[in-house]
Amino acid sequence: MKTRSLSYKVIILLVTALALYGCNQANDKSNAIKVNLTAPQTAYSIPTIIAIEKGFFKENKITVNINYVKTGKIAMDDLLAGKADFANIVETNVAFAGFSDPKIKVLGNIEKIYDAVIVARKDRGIAKEADLKDKKIGVILATTSQVYAETFLESRGIDKKDVTIVNLLPPALQSGIIEGSGVDAISLWQPFIYNVQKALGNNAITFPDRKIFTGYMNLAGSNNFIEKNPDAVDGLLKGYEKAEAFLLSNKAESIDIVARVLNLNKAVVEKIWEEYEFKLSMDNAILEAIIKEGKWIIKTQKGFEKKVLPDYSKFFDSSYLKKIQLNK
């Protein structure tokens, strides 16, 4: 009888322990903050990809519903329309959106980008930079693609009026230059540039210039959501902090993960990897870059000629990042 009684007690204890464990698990899930995050499905979002795939956001009780899109501009549109609580956006998106006084905050820079180039077809008579004059150059308007192309042309003394700017989305730019239909050159980012170079082979000529342009991929959020959910910001930034450490110490696995998520050949990701710098930060260089692009918009873009340069500083909030860095 004693043995049977002891067995019953053990069973009761086990059942109780399992029930408590289940409750704790349920509480953990119910305490998790759910956020909608929109990000470009490109190498610009590598820290986001790592944080999601390795569960770094979940570790900080943040459940992320990720929506991958083609460009940072589309991600910004989602954020402004209330379709996303947070978004991965580049400095150019902030520069353009600033003129409409968006209710957003940039919370930290997650990646610096050095992959902007112009790639052209030699068989269109393009053997040097000056040959871009009178040619059709494909860009994506209101993105880093356009900024780099027009900044590059200006730095080489080529007037914007002396080229034809063609506005297309990334896949169309890639196919257009490869097939030789509609454009003679394109300004775009990776992995599209690599694909074009590979497809054209010796017929491709590339014009890079890191001195005139650095891209900044940032985490931004809507003011309303941030104010109501400050813990969500902390959790996301901590997730990015852990993603940064993982990227720096696990390059091979990181490349495998990024190749899988972006549906790219591993060799492609390895080839372009050094064009990105992974460091969670918030320095004056980002604001300076946005101000510079804002001035460029007023000077060069139709419809902005009489606009006043926005006070871009009000779209930044470094307090959350400083807080988690101080608490390390």
pLDDT (0 to 100) of residue 16: 55
**Radius of gyration from C-alpha coordinates of the chain:** 24
Confidence of residue 12 (pLDDT cuts 50, 70, 90): low
Q: Give the ranges where 126-222 is alpha helix by DSSP (H).
A: 144-155, 170-179, 192-200
State the average pLDDT for the chain. 91
Q: Give the position of tokens 């943040």.
A: 62
Q: How far apart are CA 295 and CA 45, in angstroms?
A: 27
Per residue in 250-287, pLDDT tens? 999 999 999 999 999 999 999 999 999 999 999 899 99
Q: Give the ranges where 220-318 is alpha helix by DSSP (H).
A: 223-228, 230-249, 251-261, 266-272, 284-300
- The residue that leads in pLDDT, 29 or 201, is 201
314, 320, 321, 322 alpha-carbon torsion, rounded to 10°: 100
Q: How far apart are CA 305 and CA 38, in angstroms?
A: 31
> In this model, does residue 9 exceed pLDDT 80?
no
Confidence of residue 7 (pLDDT cuts 50, 70, 90): low
* Least confident range of 21-25, 110-114, 225-229, 321-325: 21-25
**Mean pLDDT value across residues 192-213:** 94
pLDDT (0 to 100) of residue 325: 82
Instruction: List domains and CATH numbers for the chain.
Output: 32-112+215-326 (3.40.190.10), 117-208 (3.40.190.10)
pLDDT (0 to 100) of residue 324: 86
Distance (Å) of CA 38 to CA 82, 179, 221, 235, 320:
11, 31, 10, 17, 20
32: left (phi over 0), alpha (psi -120 to 50) or beta: beta
Task: For the full predicted model, state whether its pTM sits above 0.95.
Answer: no
**Mean pLDDT value across residues 46-62:** 97
Confidence of residue 26 (pLDDT cuts 50, 70, 90): very low
Confidence of residue 27 (pLDDT cuts 50, 70, 90): very low
